[in-house]
Structures are given as structure tokens and as C-alpha cells.
Amino acid sequence: MKPKLRYKWMYGIIGMLVIVWGLGTSYAKAYSVSSDPMRIKQTYLDQIHMDQAWSEAGLSEEPLIVAVVDTGVDLDHPDLEGRLVPGANLLNPQAKPADDNGHGTNVAGVIAAKMNNDKGIAGIAPNARIMPIKALEADGTGGETKLGEGIRYAVDHGAKIVVLSLGLNKYSSYMAGTVRYAEERGVLLVAASGNEGGSVKYPAAYPTVLAVGGMTAGRQADVRSNYGPDLDLVAPWGVYTTARGGGYENKEGTSMAAPQVAGAAALLWGKFPYLEPWQVREMIKQTAEDLGQTGWDASTGYGLLRADRLLKESLLGDRFEPNDERNQARMLPVHTMVHADFSSGADADWYKIDSPYDGFVKLIVKSSDASPVSIRHIQDNKEAEDVFITDPKSRTVTLPVKKGINEISLSLSDPNKVQPITYSVQTEFLIYSDAFEDNDKQYKASALPARSQVVKGTFHQENDQDWFVISFDKSGTLRLKTSVDTARIDPVVLIQKKGEKSTTFDQFGEGTTEVTSLLNIMPGEYYIRISNVKDNTQPVMGEYTLEVDYTPKLIDPNEPNDKPYQAATLALHVDHPGVIGSARDVDWFQFTLEQESLVQLNLRFPQFGSDASFKLYDHVLGGIGSDSTKGMAGNFILERRLPAGLYYIKLQSEQTATEIMYELNASTMPLVAGFSDIHGHWAENAIADLARDQVVGGGESYRFEPDQPITRAEAAVMLSNGFRLERIKPAEYPDVSKSHWAYHAIAKTTLAGYMDGYEDGHFRPDQPLTRMEMTRVLANAMGMAGKYRGRSPYRDVADDYWGVGILKQMALDNWIRGFPDGTYRPDVKATRAEFAALLSRFTHSVGKKR
């Protein structure tokens, strides 16, 4: 969007031009301290030590003309009486430059309100006269054309100082030329940095302009004051000054800080009219009071304006000294102009450049006698192999820099020079070229993958614009979000499907984020262009971030399956992806069971807020069971015991869920005698026989767990059921209460003599049986006492083992068998399958005998 110059009453930046013209000076005496009745409210004057400055300033016999290019000035204000000279109204040349806003009057009072007149306040420069130049509308808005006209008008009428309290976010060739016009004619430029807490605005950001930020009463940079590599110094943020209509008021902003610097400069120039503009700049920077780190920093520049030091101290030939060693390196902003000197050919001056990004710093180095200057650049703590040397034909050297601290040293290329040589250094930063260049044209568009992603880019050259292309193979939705880290960028987003019309998004202004509407896209190539606003085509020190949010509309591979007769076949134990295409969409599936099975339907539904349900039907569409996600996301399970046959599943949702695919899986476990975990097991038949005889049952778990150790309580229950024990006598075991789930079975097997307790009287119902204990229990049930003689039938059972007799008898009668390696492993825990296999043989043998 096209930027405007706008004054916001408390915080905005408005145009103001102050011009001081020294017409000759004499120094009869110093200015007296202010006795104005409202001086007590001008606390900002104490912060910059104005009383001491007035005592140092010479009393000029000739006035200094100060031109204010702004909204005009209250021409009848009593505290400006005798302080005004004729000015100009650039908006209406036939009218006087009267203030119809108030801001210009605020600025004029800071600089030149009459001192010691028993009225109001004291201006900083008693030697100043105000020339009002109206260039802005009553609402504080205006264009750079009128601003430029105002500057040129002031310069052409003998200006020595130009102060600009307005701001633009964009670099302007026209304004840069106007600034150069003033500089070439010996005019000092001072400008407000801006009040948005972001990048320093133009014209303050031009290297030859003094950029002034705002300081709080607590001697810190105000959070609203713009900052960065272009900032030179700060002055108090709040003032008490003249107001439109003859009154006074408190005002804030960097537009109130800038005229303080202008007024101090006017005093300095009144005392020393022979100074060049660059010397005045150097004096103001040299005498500023450090507020943060020593030397320059991005928040406060060189520090707080000190008017007393400015009027008292002498101009140093090189204010950066001592900086002869690398550890003495002084900070050098990436956008500035400074002056220093070489004491001889042996003198080396070290500087640190704090680069805000990767990129390049252009150095324009000019020595007073055109001597070549050697520049050594240190990066990543290593000296560069190349040493750059300037010459009269090419005084510009461009150094690659990394984000952060970079070090350089400057020295005369001729080490034999003995006389001092002054020099100037002007710096200019050029941001890096982003990773997607060269993509300034549509046919050079950089290809991006068809997915959500984040892209970072820059506008590193004139008329830079970045083109991207994404080839989508699926339809879906697309949203583009472009954010910036500086108000110098006003992002514009263009999107165009190949062969179709483009759509441009530029809803907001400078420094803001542009977000496109949610776009429905079809398969094909889409071009995206990110650019700065049309009238801001210069390189920018800043980055933009493009966020691509792409959500494909997923395709359901099972469609059409909206009716039972269209049901998609559900292969067992396989994930089947699908999509709920609309709130009315219904997905039908079918599967077939070859035998009775435990069926588990698993629905993985990853979308919150969509209440999906799935129902199970038999072959005649009779309902069997259902479940619902209840608006949650996750895994949902429906489990049923089903006989062999054909079954249907119906899946539906209350709302569209096209952004994420669901997955449906039907897993089956064949049931044998009601158990889902014995199919194919070596003891399958024995366990099934016991189940048919109602010795064991799977219950709701459908599991027998054949390979788990069998406990003494479980063995008692299976013995009691297997041998149909009826007689019962209360069990007297301290660890088996009548409420124990196996109490009756333990009582029956104890009475029958099949099982008994341990020597300590406990039964230990939850203790696993060993294989020897299992064999003895079943031998007891069969009435076997172990009477056979002979050697042990197993190589891991000694002849004196306590159960060897029973093993001999049962092995010889072919009731038991050992392992293939000839062992029996009597002390290993017996499994439920092993116990079931022996019990099945014994119970069926007893049945046959009966």
C-alpha cells in the first residue's frame, strides 16, 4: 500500500524542518539561565544540561534563522513573539503558513520560545528565529514531494541546519537526491528516527543525516523509539512546549527529540560559525553521553545529547582513538558517515561492524590527500587472505559480512607517510541474496514442494521480486501468509494458476502481515510472487517469511461404497484408508469369516471434533454392535465373537473430515472351543476336549493362555472339574479364605487327597506348580504311589530325587514323556497347556474304564 506521511498526536511521526542560518556572531557574554515561569516543567532541559550549555554559549548579536517545515506555526503565539520571520505555505502559496494542526508550533517552541520574557517556557536556542514553512495538511499527512520542496526551499534561502521529524519507511531516490542537495551546500540534516519501535525511518536513515531517537526519564531508550544501525543518538522523549492557540502542553515522540538536537546544533554553530556540517555531526556524536555499552549501540546510538559538552569541548581529530589495536576496535554502524585520521603511515584504526544480517558492507573511504587506504577484513576470527586497497578512481570497497560482529582495520597503504592524514568512511549495508535467486521473473520461478512449508527471502537488489512455483497433484486448500521484520517492507502477494488470471493480496500497510483468503486449488502449477509495494523498489535491509499452508483434499480409494451392495471388501488384518467426503457420506465395508472367530474392528480416526460412528451388521443387515468417537481423535475398538459368515460395517460422520484419512482394520482370531489363542497350538486338541467337557472355559476374555505357568489354585479347579469331585470339607489353610475364588476346588482336591498344603500349613494358591509337582498331583488323582524299581528314566533326575519313584511308574506306564534331549526338567514351572494335556489323558482314561 502507498505510504503516507502522517502525524499521530502523541506517537506519530510528522514532518518538521528546522533551518539555522548563522549570519555572523559575536560573543559579548554568555546567555543567562532561564527565569521563565514554566521552566520548571521543562525537565528535558535538565536531562541535556541546558543551564550549563547556556553558560558556555556565546551571545550572538546576529540571529540564526530556524525554518520549521511542518504544519505551520501559530503566528500569534505570545512566547514566539519577535521570534518569527516570514515563511512559506507550500500547500497554498497565497496564504500564510499558519498552523492548523499544532505540531509545528510544538516544534518551534522547543527550539526558539523566547527566554526570560516572564512568559511560558524557554527555547533551547535564544539566538534562533523561526521561519515557518507549511508542507503538511491539517491532519498531519503529506507527501514526500512537498517535503522535498520544503527542504530545497530552506536550503535555497540560506539554511545551515535541516531537521526532519517525519518519517518514511521506504528509500526514495528523490529524497536521497534532496538530502544530497543539502549536504553539498553545507547544510546539516537532523531527523527523528520514528515512534513505532521498529526500523529507523527515512530520511533519518540516510548516512549523512543525524538520526535522533527518544529517551525516557529513566535514561533508557523508549520502547516506541525506532532503532537500528541508522541511529546516531537520543534526546528526551517528552517535552513541555508551546501549543497552538497561545497555550502550552506536554508532547511526546522522537519528533520532539529531534528539535532538541537542532537547537543545540544552532547554539554550537552560533558560537563556531566556521564549522563544516560534518564537523557539527562529529561534535554531537563525540559529546553524547553513553547510556548503554561504550560507544555506539543500536538502541541509543552514541548516547544522550549533552548540550553542555557540545558547547564546551573541542572537536577531536579522531574521536575513535585509541583504536590502534584489535582489542580496541570501535563500533561502526553499517549505515553512517564518520571522520577520523591517521597520525602517520604506521597508524591502524580498528572498527567493529555489527551486521544485522548476512550480506555485504560497502565502504566509501576518502583520504584528505587521496592517499590509497588499505582495508583488512577479519571474519570468523580469521584474517581474510585479501587486503583491499582503495585508489582515487575507486574509493569503494565491498566486504562480505556475516550476521554479528565483523572486524576491519584501516591504514594508509604507504607505511612511510609521516604527516597526519584525515579521512572519512561512509558505510552502506547490502543484505544477502536469498537461497532462491535468481527468481525475479515468472519463467525463472523457484520450484517448491507441494506441502506446507516456511520460506525466508530478501529484496536484495533494485526491483527485486521473488517468484515461486508449486506443482500440486491433488486438489485441496491453500493459504499464504507473508510476514516481515521491518516496516520498510510492505509485502504484496500474487498467486496465479498457470494459464488463468492472477489474484493479488495487498490489504495492509508497511511492516504488517499479509494473509490470503483460503483458496481452493485444483491439480496443476501455481505461481506465487512476493514483492515489495509497487513504489518501493529499492533494496531493503530486512527479511520476509512466507508460510505456505497446504491441505490436500484426500481421495477415498473405496468409493463408491455408499450403499451395502457397494460395500468395499475388507481384507482381514490390513489397514484400509478412507475419507469422510461430506456430512452425508457413508462408507460400507464387508468381510467374510471362514470359521467362528473373535473379531476386533479397529478405527483410527485422527480428526478432533468430528463424531464418527461405526456399526457392525450380519449378512441380513441385522445390527450386532456399534461404537462412536464422540468427537475425539484416536483408536476405537469394537470386539465381537462371531460365527462363520458374511458381515458388514457402516462408517459415517456428522461432518466432513477430508483433511485427514481414517484407517479401518478388521483383525480376527479363530476360536477353538471358545478360545482365541489355542488355534494351531500343540495342546489344541487336549484343551478343546477339556472345554467340551466343561473342565475349562474362556469366558469373556476368550483366552486360555496355554503357555503361561499354571498356579496351584488353577490346577485345583481343573482337577476338581476334570474328576467331577463333589465331596467337600472345609479347607483349613490360613492363606485360603472362603471368599477365595478357588476355595471350593481347593477344599475338594484336599479332601480327595489329590493336593495338600506345605509343612508350614499354607496352601500358596498363587504359586506356580513345577513339572514334578504337576506329575505328583495327577499321580495322586490316579492312585499311583510310585512302586516301580529301577534307574531314573531321565538324565536330569537323580536316583535319590524325592519324586523319582512317581516318575518311574508314570514313564513306564507311558503317561508322561520327557524332552527330546532326555531331560524332564522337574523343577521348571509347568504350563497351563502341559497340565491340560495330562489332565485330558487321565480324565478320558478314567471315563473309558467307567
Please, are residues 375 and 410 in contact by the beta-carbon 8 Å criterion? yes
Query: Of residues 49, 60, 70, 653, which has the active-site annotation?
Result: 70
**The three grid cell numbers given for residue 26, joined into one nine-digit string:** 559575536
Please, are residues 331 and 404 in contact by the beta-carbon 8 Å criterion? no
CA 111 to chain centre: 45
Q: Nearest-5° angle of CA 831, CA 837, CA 838?
A: 95
What is the distance between the alpha carbons of residues 690 and 444, in angstroms, rounded to a whole number? Answer: 79
Please, are residues 375 and 388 in contact by the beta-carbon 8 Å criterion? yes
Query: Of residues 60, 255, 299, 374, which has the active-site annotation?
Result: 255
Our answer to whether residue 626 is catalytic in this structure is no
Dihedral (CA of 271, 275, 279, 280) sign: positive
- Listed residue (591, 838, 635, 601) closest to 723, CA to CA: 838
Query: Of residues 49, 77, 103, 460, which has the active-site annotation?
Result: 103
The DSSP call for residue 260 is H
* SS3 category, 367: strand
**Amino acid type, 347:** D
**Hey, which residues does 83 pair with through a beta bridge?**
none
Question: What are the angstrom distances between the C-alpha of 564 and each of 29, 419, 555, 781?
Answer: 107, 101, 20, 57
What is the distance between the alpha carbons of residues 724 and 234, in angstroms, rounded to a whole number? Answer: 102
What is the distance between the alpha carbons of residues 427 and 723, in angstroms, rounded to a whole number? Answer: 103
Please, are residues 376 and 413 in contact by the beta-carbon 8 Å criterion? no
Our answer to whether residue 308 is catalytic in this structure is no
Could you write out the DSSP letters of every residue in 175-202?
HHHHHHHHHHTT-EEEEE--SSSSBPPB
Please, are residues 208 and 282 in contact by the beta-carbon 8 Å criterion? no
* SS3 category, 372: coil
Name the helix (H) or strand (E) containing 501: none
What is the distance between the alpha carbons of residues 262 and 160, in angstroms, rounded to a whole number? Answer: 11
Could you write out the DSSP letters of every residue in 557-606?
TT-S-SSGGGPEE--TT--EEEEE-STT-EEEEEEEESS-EEEEEEEEE-
Name the helix (H) or strand (E) containing 111: helix 103-112
Our answer to whether residue 232 is catalytic in this structure is no
The DSSP call for residue 749 is H
Helix count (H) and strand count (E) of the chain? 14, 39
Please, are residues 504 and 491 in contact by the beta-carbon 8 Å criterion? no
- Listed residue (555, 660, 653) closest to 607, CA to CA: 660
What is the distance between the alpha carbons of residues 509 and 513, in angstroms, rounded to a whole number? Answer: 8
Dihedral (CA of 141, 146, 151, 155) sign: negative
**Which three-class secondary structure string do you get for 421-458?**
EEEEEEEEEEECCCCCCCCCCHHHCEEECCCCEEEEEE
Question: Which residues in 200-218 are b (16+ Cβ under 10 Å) and which e?
Answer: bbbbbbbbbbbbbbbbbee
Question: What are the angstrom distances between the C-alpha of 830 and each of 720, 802, 838?
Answer: 18, 18, 11
What is the distance between the alpha carbons of residues 27 and 775, in angstroms, rounded to a whole number? Answer: 126
Catalytic sites, residue numbers: 70, 103, 255
